[in-house]
């Protein structure tokens, strides 16, 4: 079993839809949770960062962490064609220079 | 400014060549990372430097040799690579102490012939 599981998709939705992306994990030591967006042939771009359980909102993006269920989510409201990309969840156990453990990435397409 | 720069953008090399990838950040970060990413896969960690010292080596073959000349620069020296080493090589940096989110550069797309 992988430490972090993420449905690779692909996921295709119409413009304006609410998108839900999810990851589950097995290592209870993980405390720091990130979502990255990666466009084709580009480097990953940090979208959201959350420490421990809770919600965090930034514009159209909301990240949720449920440590009791070992489950994290990213919601995208009013999705746009420019949101079409691969979304990677990542997590780490501690502070300082740490190894990030990534999910497999979900390929998302928003259709105009 | 959360920019990490990498040069070159693209690199084609033969199996007997020696080349270097370069990474630079001016965010005052003290941790820098090299990752390798194959198509449709997540990034795989190769090396971590913390305060200019190598702190993690993920059992990478010796044909990859990292170097951290100072806190802003990170190099990856390449020698005698194999075609299967063709990939996107990503550099990242982070604060190195608290709230350690990693910021990635655009990557160098490497092709080994």
Residue A46 has pLDDT above 70, yes or no: yes
In chain A, residues 35-94 whose CB comes closer than 8 Å to chain B: 36, 41-46, 49, 51, 88, 92
Q: Could you tell me if B98 lies within 8 Å of chain A, comparing CB atoms?
A: yes
- Residue B105: the pLDDT is 97
pLDDT bracket for residue B92 (50, 70, 90): very high
Which range among A92-96, B7-11, B50-54 shows the weakest confidence by mean pLDDT?
A: A92-96
Are B42 and A104 within 8 A, CB to CB?
yes
Report the pLDDT value the prediction gives residue B42, as an integer from 0 to 100: 96
Tokens of B53: 């010292």
**Is the pLDDT reported for residue B33 higher than 90?**
yes
How confident is the model over B57-71, as pLDDT tens digits?
899 999 999 999 999
Rounded Cα distance between B46 and A42, Å, is: 18
Burial A23-52 (b: 16+ CB within 10 A, else e): bbbeeeebbbbbbbbbeeebbbbbbbbbee
């Amino acid at each position: 079993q992988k430490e972090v599981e993420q449905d690779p998709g692909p996921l295709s939705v119409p413009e304006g839809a609410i998108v839900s992306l999810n990851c589950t994990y097995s290592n209870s030591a993980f405390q720091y949770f990130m979502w990255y967006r990666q466009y084709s042939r580009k480097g990953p771009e940090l979208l959201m960062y959350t420490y421990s359980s809770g919600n965090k909102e930034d514009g159209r993006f909301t990240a949720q962490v449920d440590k009791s269920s070992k489950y994290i989510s990213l919601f995208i409201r009013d999705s746009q064609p420019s949101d079409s990309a691969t979304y990677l969840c990542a997590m780490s156990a501690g502070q300082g220079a740490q190894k990030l453990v990534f999910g497999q990435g979900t390929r998302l397409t928003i259709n105009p | 400014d959360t920019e990490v720069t990498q040069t070159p953008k693209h690199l084609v090399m033969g199996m007997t060549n020696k080349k270097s990838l370069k990474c630079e950040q001016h965010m005052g970060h003290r941790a820098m990372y090299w990752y390798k990413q194959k198509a449709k896969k997540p990034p795989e960690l190769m090396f971590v430097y913390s305060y200019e010292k190598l702190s993690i080596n993920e059992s990478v073959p010796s044909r990859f040799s990292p170097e951290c000349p100072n806190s802003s620069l990170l190099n990856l020296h390449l020698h005698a690579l194999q075609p299967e080493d063709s990939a996107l090589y990503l550099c990242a940096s982070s604060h190195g102490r608290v709230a350690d989110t990693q910021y990635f550069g655009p990557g160098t797309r490497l092709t080994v012939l």
